[in-house]
Chains A and B, each alone.
Chain A
């Protein structure tokens, strides 16, 4: 079956620090990979996606590269801001498989001034 494993949080950083949130997956078939962000009191928003190996998704300074050899899709940002404090979800979806993507359990990020 499909599964997504994210690092446990919370991740606590100072403003302008470098961010990495690890995500690894197992999948039958060739998945698309996603990162979603959930700000406090809001719904999830699609942050970035990648659909094939070696693709890099990027948005708002965040990046993630689809690494098939290590089955990973780690989220990175070079310099975090207080406003990046949120819960980040890694997810995968396999075309032609289950209709529903598989979500990780979320990683909380807290950025201090």
Chain B
């Protein structure tokens, strides 16, 4: 059973389109995250939710909108996709909010905007 699962694994789309990425965790964790990894492997936090409540919203364009229907799910919707949005997006979870917990990551969604 996959602990943190993301869909889709690959996403190729045209500029200007709207797309969503879904994430689900079956670990019973309270806190979930979205990270963006660029081509040089640099990881950047985008959002964090704790028990469905947004707790971190880094400087991300308004075109990105997360949604957490329950604490096991965290989805990411992106409007008006741009070339610079091409990256690998990772969902992650931790038992609770706090930087001293180890994270469990999903396998990533590779987004390519053409």
Contact = CB atoms under 8 A, between A and B. Distances in A.
B98 A99 contact: yes
Given A42-B108, A43-B90, A44-B90, A105 B40 contact: yes
Contacts of A105: 40-42
Interface of B: 4, 31, 33, 40-43, 45, 48, 55-56, 90, 92, 97-108
Interface of A: 31-32, 34, 36, 38, 41-46, 49, 51, 87, 89, 92-103, 105-106, 108
Contacts of A92: 99
Nearest to A102: B99
Closest 6 CB pairs of A and B: A93-B99, A43-B105, A32-B100, A93-B100, A46-B102, A106-B41
Contacts of A89: 43
A51 B100 contact: yes
A100 B88 CA distance: 19
Contacts of B101: 93
